[in-house]
Structure 1
Amino acid sequence: MKLKVLVDNNTYIDQYYCGEPAVSYYIEDEDTSLLLDAGYSDLFLRNSTALGIDLENVSTIVISHGHDDHTRGLKYYFEQNHKNNISIIAHPDAFKEKFIDNLKICSPILEEELKEKCNLILSKEPIKVSEHITFLGEIPQINHFENRKPIGKQIVGQTSVDDYVIDDTALAYKNEKGIYIITGCSHSGICNIIEYAKEVCKDNRVLGVIGGFHLFEVTEQVNKTIDYLKQNNIKELYPCHCTSFAVRAEIHKTLPVKEVGVGLEINW
């Protein structure tokens, strides 16, 4: 599997791509090309062109969750004259209206409109996306230290309810060596995600993780997260996006943390 970072908060020195506080990853698994998330703007399109990546080869866009820093780029994708009949895979809550106070934080294209533009697949259950990659679906609460907290409100029917970001999910890549986890923001808890990926993939060998951990302050939760990552002997850690410098530095005291920026290529 090859993963290329199209959008991240960070960029590298002497690599002249642009960044934004959002996520988009281009992934190849044998004959399948897909995206995880579409960032906040058209930046994933511009960076893919700069990196020499032809998005016409992409068959599927997987959405990690419905917040606009992962979905707003879809607006720009559908403004292009793409010839491929794209499939979008997400949790059933991903394209519901979400907001904090009066500020919308959801995709600019919601479920009904999206159904007219693509093959929309909404699932709480795991789905095989390619030969070795699985969309994990709804992540269960497994541990006691990663409790979900509401982020704004979500419209359900005609009612606004607290949004616990139940739509947050991730990808798991499995090969003969073990499994690798690819996340968007980990609102459901990075350890919950990893533990569920082990269950879905029927493999306890977790070799690497890339994506946002949604950790900002060095708290007891961070200490327990570090303990969990250490217990699982995870060798390749790429915490980024919504993982603060303070948290990455704290993890690095115990486990080596790798740098992430636009243009990073990982081969697993």
Structure 2
Amino acid sequence: MKLTFLVDNNALVGSQYLAEAGLSMFIEADGQRVLFDTGYSDAFLVNARRKGVDLLRLDWIALSHGHFDHTWGLGMLLRQYCESGLRDLPRANLLAHPKAVETKRHRGIMEFGPLLSRDKLASYFDLKLTTEPTWLTDSLVGLGEIERTMDFETPATLGERLENGEFVPDDLPDDTALTYVTDTGLVVIAGCAHTGICNTVEQAKKVTGVDRVRAVLGGFHLQKAGPERLGPTADYLAALDLEGLWCCHCTDLAAKIALAAQCPVREVGSGLSLEF
């Protein structure tokens, strides 16, 4: 598997890639081309061109959850489709939790979720909206709705989601992740890990039946986290004996420092490519 961070909050020193408060990755695995999240703007498209990545011919688009910093780039991708003038473009599968494509709002922001409706998405992509784990390739799986088992990763709400015509507190049931199975263990690929990065890893083990974890990467949603959350999280991840921990996007500096005290934290930025 080859994974490229198309956009992240950070741009590596000396690189020519754009950064923004969003996340998008491009994954090549088992002959399949997968776009995981699309960031906030067209920055992931600009970086893809600079990286030589063709996003017009995708097999899968997978969404980690329905927030704007992971989904608004979808509109930019559709614009690129339309402006390409090509009529033989394949219809990619779009994998997401059903609640990831619903309206959300937060702190007065009129739309905190995706800008494109379910019907609009269905006119361009084959929708695979499910709460169940879904295999994209023989080795790459979407984890479905993540079970929350860790007592230190307590459920928290962020804004509201529209449900049955009414807004309700959003505890992000749509948060999910991908996992790649290698001969020597799992590579867990998170978007924001609103359900908790440790819960996410446990879900990956449960879905795949593999206990060994090689690497964990993506957003960990550790912002202004207290010691009661950071301590157990660092202990759990350290016990995995990882090859690398590529935490980014919604993981703040204090969290990275705390994790780096026990774990092999690696630097992440737009344009970074990894192979497993």
CA distance in 1, matches of 2:17, 2:6: 9
Please show how residues 36-185 of structure 1 align to structure 2 within 5 Å: 36-81=36-81, 83-103=89-109, 104-185=111-192
CA distance in 2, matches of 1:254, 1:224: 11
What residue is the counterpart of 1:250 in the other structure?
Answer: 258
Matched, 1:220 2:232: no
CA distance in 1, matches of 2:116, 2:166: 19
Matched, 1:197 2:216: no
CA distance in 1, matches of 2:274, 2:60: 19
Matched, 1:229 2:237: yes
Q: CA deviation at 1:126?
A: 0.3
**Aligned pair count?**
268
CA distance in 1, matches of 2:217, 2:22: 14
CA distance in 1, matches of 2:50, 2:120: 30
Secondary structure in 2 matching 1:238:
strand
Q: Name the TM-score, length of structure 1 as normaliser.
A: 0.97
Q: Give the AA of the match of 2:38.
A: A
Q: Give the AA of the match of 2:60.
A: T
CA distance in 1, matches of 2:154, 2:121: 31
Q: Give the AA of the match of 1:75.
A: G
Q: Deviations over 1:156-184 (max 9, x none)?
A: 12111000011000001001111010010
Native 8 Å contact 2:242 2:264 kept in 1: no
Identity, in percent, stands at: 37
Please show how residues 12-27 of structure 1 align to structure 2 within 5 Å: 12-27=12-27
- Between 76-85 and 32-41, the greater mean CA deviation after superposition: 76-85
Q: Give the AA of the match of 1:151.
A: L
Q: Deviations over 1:84-141 (max 9, x none)?
A: 2121100010010000143121110122321222111101000001121000000011
CA distance in 1, matches of 2:240, 2:52: 36
Secondary structure in 1 matching 2:100:
coil
Q: Give the AA of the match of 1:162.
A: P
Q: Give the AA of the match of 1:149.
A: A
Q: Gaps spanning 5+ residues in structure 2: where? A: none
Q: CA deviation at 1:73?
A: 0.2
Secondary structure in 1 matching 2:161:
strand
Q: Which runs of 4+ in 1 moved over 3 A?
A: none
What residue is the counterpart of 2:33 in the other structure?
Answer: 33
CA distance in 1, matches of 2:30, 2:163: 39
Q: CA deviation at 1:12?
A: 1.1
Q: Name the TM-score, length of structure 2 as normaliser.
A: 0.95
What residue is the counterpart of 2:269 in the other structure?
Answer: 261
Native 8 Å contact 2:20 2:40 kept in 1: yes
